[in-house]
Amino acid sequence: MNNSYEPTMNSKLYWKYVISNKIPADFEYLIGLNINDVILFDDGNESLIDEGRTILPNNYHIFVGDKNGELQFKPYEYDKYRIVVTTYQDIIVSVDTIG
């Protein structure tokens, strides 16, 4: 008789690993910008780059988590490309989280 414990299920299958290579500090350049002036990567082009406009990295998008002191409801799903910001009168005042 073998007394060693052998689990029947792999517990690693039930863990959800969340790994992101970006942190809120990577997007501090957004602070002080009007949220309407930030351009998504897919909408950007060379002429906008020449104008010095701010274009987000590929796949990233902005979600306003706190607007003028009023908390907004964030979707439950994790999205590693979601940049959660706080705005006041459409000006980004802080980058809260990524995801």
Which of 5 and 80 is assigned the larger pLDDT? Answer: 80
pLDDT above 90 (res 84) = yes
DSSP string, 35-89: GGG-B-GGG--HHHHHTT--BPPTT-EEEEEEETTEEPPPPSS--TTEEEEEEET
Residue 55 · residue 41 · CB < 8 Å: yes
Task: Return d(Cα 53, Cα 47) in angstroms, integer.
Answer: 9
Residue 94 · residue 30 · CB < 8 Å: no
Q: What is the mean pLDDT of residues 56-75?
A: 89
Q: What is the mean pLDDT of residues 69-73?
A: 88
Q: What is the mean pLDDT of residues 23-38?
A: 92
At residue 8, the pLDDT reads: 47
Domain edges within the chain = 26-98
pLDDT digits (tens, 9 = 90+) for 31-47: 999 999 999 999 988 89
